[in-house]
Structure 1
Amino acid sequence: MKYVVFPNQVAVAEVYLAFNQSDYVSSEQFEDKVNHIVAAAIRATRGQLVEQIKTFVASSQSSDISFVPVEKDKKQHLYWTSRCISVTTEQLKIQEVKAMIKDWLKETEVPEHADEIGKSRNESMTWLNYVVVDSEDDDFRISTMTLAQYCYIAHEKCNLALRAAIDSVYAGSKIGDARDCLQETRTQTKLHQIAVNEQTKYLTRPKRALLNAIFESWEYDRLVENGEAMMEICDTKIAEADAKQRTINSQKSDRILFSISLFAVFELLVFLSQYSREVMSRPALDYTDTDKSWILAFIASLDADFIFGLGFFAMLALGITYVYVAREKL
């Protein structure tokens, strides 16, 4: 058993099992048996994997490598188990082995591959049930399938994160949190797409051809298109969130400025009352005027309570007017 560790919190486990042809009863029974064995093996060894990764990161001299443990409240997810039967050319001469392969591939997209295995075809790798003829150590077909599974799982994780981020926005999350979540998941998806494109550049021609064939069988392009569509939704929602935030900030600024202006009106009335009374009590203050100001005289004659009441009434009237105008704009 070995693990192939990738970024995006994804690891692909390869478990090699030996069995006799007599152990094979049906594809359904064999699939269940393999799934159970592999799941148990992964759960029993993933703790050791984490410790080995920690040790490797601690001993590494590179600052680009870091280990971020999964939070305790986050459940580690086992996505799926694919199964590959490895046979030799000699074994294909046995009639029971041919029948086993035919039954093994009957539910795949290409059951006709069973008749071609060992003749014009040395592998059948479409979805979950595979057959490889004359496999070698570090066989490129197995490593290509491992890489394909990583690409698919990682992109599916990105799509799930995008969908969760979009759902949180529509569920009414805070604008700032929603924008940060959307931007983070969108960035992760784009980085994953770049990583996949970069990795495929360095594949050998046979490996790249096999990878493209696997992607075509899995409809990987549709998965990518779904991710791009969700990223477009993210862009739209981020723009909407920014516009909404700007509107909220503008409304807050308007309300603050309006509140200041209300107090300024009230303060102006109080100042006029105070100034007019001072002028009336000290004639020397208006010695340059030809006659006493009737406006100041009128204001000075008003009762202080009336001035305060007038100020509050003016503030109330302006406040009602502001609310009405603001609603009309909306």
Structure 2
Amino acid sequence: MSTKITSDPKWDAITLCPLDITFALKLGSDQSSANSIEVLEQLRDINPSIQIEIRDDTSHKQALEGAEYLSTQDDVSTLRLFKWYFNQQNCEVVYHVFPNQLAICEVRLSGIHAENAADLDNLVLQRTDEAIHLSQGIFEQQITQSLRQLDSNLVVFENQAHKGKIYWPSRTLLLNQQQLDDTKTQAVVTQWLSDTHRPQDAEKIFAGQLNASMTWLKYVVVDCAKNNDYRLETMILAQYCYTAQEKCNQQVKKAIELAFSGHHKKLEKDLTQARNALEQSRVSAKLHQVAVNETLRHLTRRKRRLIDDIFQAWEYDRLVDNGQLMLDLCSDKIQEANNRQTKISASKTEYILIGISLFTVLDFFFFITQFSREAMSRPTLDHNDGGPSTLLTMIATIPADTMFFAGIVFAGLIFYAYKKVKG
């Protein structure tokens, strides 16, 4: 393979950074429904910076069931709601808006001067940070104002007091075939991919065996299309899926913390919050997985192969399985706490009932003492008995303190028998 040397390397790059946003479709909404599409079309009419993901079927497709399977060239289903474009000096910014209050910020950088991979990475991250912080507030303000003009209850707003959390950014070097013959480019690309899952991809790219390496955080794409390159589109989808699952897992972690706090400290308030958090996170996780599975089913073959490769490198299935384990753990802990509280409540009820029974025994002794003495002092009370009651006469002669003591002893025996039965 022939090589050449350039003295002033300039680099083009694209960064993809997930971040939280303050609005989303209502949980459980079908974004492909006629109502959702109508809302997105109204939003596009209000804000011309928005591009929505709607494909018009031809008339013959509309007449067929399962029309989504007629196209093999394009995806016929997408999780993305819309794109928002923003031009800055020296870069282009696109916000890819998804459900679950998430967006992927795409920053296209060009003309970056760097001699080695470390300096290049630092410059890319620095310029990405500047682009996001400059555009994020404008994006939130414009989209929120546009959404509030809609006459729809499909959109919900949350956490509007502060900007959303910014997650991990991925960095993609954009190369062309001419650059691959340059020795400096080869050195930087080799160093760039050295800490990824497959550093050997660098040699395969130079040999023309691969046109991309996309495994973890640092990527390389050769001859990237200006718009809708399938490799970048796949990576955007992959980062959304992974980050949304991470968000679901974080919600479950909060529920677990509340569940353990409520269990150990016996705080009913924490347990109630844990139950609510668990239910919401369980629904969010299940809906997310359903949406991901449906979207993957409708991807083109090359996108599907690429995203399967990305998910395998990221161990996405392990992330999903870990989320399910946390859901099960939280559910078990809440159930354990519920059982414990039920047992405590049952014990309290039993003690209350046995207490009432003991007082009833004492009250019986007081009553029989009082009645026997009244019967002795008022013969008319037993005129139907043919004479004074021997038992009442005997009880009437017992001192009140003795009867009170006997009542206490009898109540104590009942309580002792109860404790023996309960173990």
TM-score (norm 2): 0.68
Question: Is 1:109 matched with 2:197?
Answer: yes
1:164 and 1:103, CA in 2 relative to 1: closer, same or farther beyond 3 A?
same
Which residue of structure 1 lines up, in the alignment, with residue 323 of structure 2?
A: 227
SS of 1:66's equivalent in the other structure is strand
The 10-residue stretch of structure 1 (192-201 or 209-218) with the greater mean CA deviation from structure 2? 192-201
Q: 2:241 corresponds to which letter in structure 1?
A: C
Relative contact order: is structure 1 or structure 2 higher (C-alpha 8 Å, sep ≥ 6)?
2
CA distance in 1: counterparts of 2:160 and 2:355, whole angstroms: 49
Distance 1:43 1:265, change over 3 A: farther
Match of 2:237 among 135, 144, 147: 147
Shift of 1:307: 4.1
Over aligned residues, Cα RMSD in angstroms?
2.7
Give the Cα separation in 1 of the matches to 2:95 and 2:181. 33
Residue 103 of structure 2: aligned partner: 11
Cα drift, residue 157 of structure 1: 2.4
Counterpart check, 1:257 vs 2:345:
no
Q: What is the deviation of 1:33? A: 2.0
Q: Which residue of 2 aligns with 1:131?
A: 220
Encode CA deviations 1:142-179: one digit per residue, 9 max, x unaligned: 12111111111121222233334334433425353344
TM-score (structure 1 length as normaliser): 0.85
CA contact (8 A) 1:273 1:307 kept: yes
Q: Which amino acid aligns with 2:159?
A: P
Once the two structures are superposed, what CA deviation does each residue of 1:29-76 show, in whole Å capped at 9, x if it has no partner?
22122222222332333222332342233123332221112566xx94
Q: Is the 8 A contact 1:165 1:182 kept in 2?
A: yes
Distance across 1 between alignment mates of 2:246 and 2:130: 24
2:142 equivalent in structure 1: 52
Are 1:25 and 2:115 an aligned pair?
yes
Higher strand share: 2
Partner of 1:120: 209
Pair 304,217 (structure 1): closer, same or farther in 2 beyond 3 Å:
same
Counterpart CA distance in 2 for 1:319 and 1:221 is 58
Matched, 1:218 2:309: no
Shift of 1:218: 0.9
- For 2:414 and 2:284, the matched residues in 1 are separated by 50
Q: Are the structure 2 counterparts of residues 323 and 53 from structure 1 closer, same or farther at C-alpha, using a change threshold of 3 Å? A: farther
Question: Do the aligned partners of 2:259 and 2:334 also contact (CA within 8 Å) in 1?
Answer: no
Structure-1 separation of matches of 2:130 and 2:372: 93
- 1:192 lines up with 2:288 in the alignment: yes
Q: Is the 8 A contact 2:260 2:333 kept in 1?
A: no
Q: 1: distance between equivalents of 2:98 and 2:216?
A: 21
Residues 1:86 and 2:174 are matched in the alignment: yes
For residues 1-39 of structure 1, the C-alpha deviation after alignment (integer angstroms, 9 at most, x for no partner) is 12223333322211111124xx12222222122222222
Structure 2 gap segments, 5+ residues each: 1-92
1:274 aligned residue:
370
Higher fraction of helix? 1
- Percent identity for Structure 1 against Structure 2: 39
The equivalences for 1:154-169 within 5 A come to 154-169=244-259
CA distance 1:194–1:248, change in 2 (3 Å): farther
Equivalenced residues, count: 323
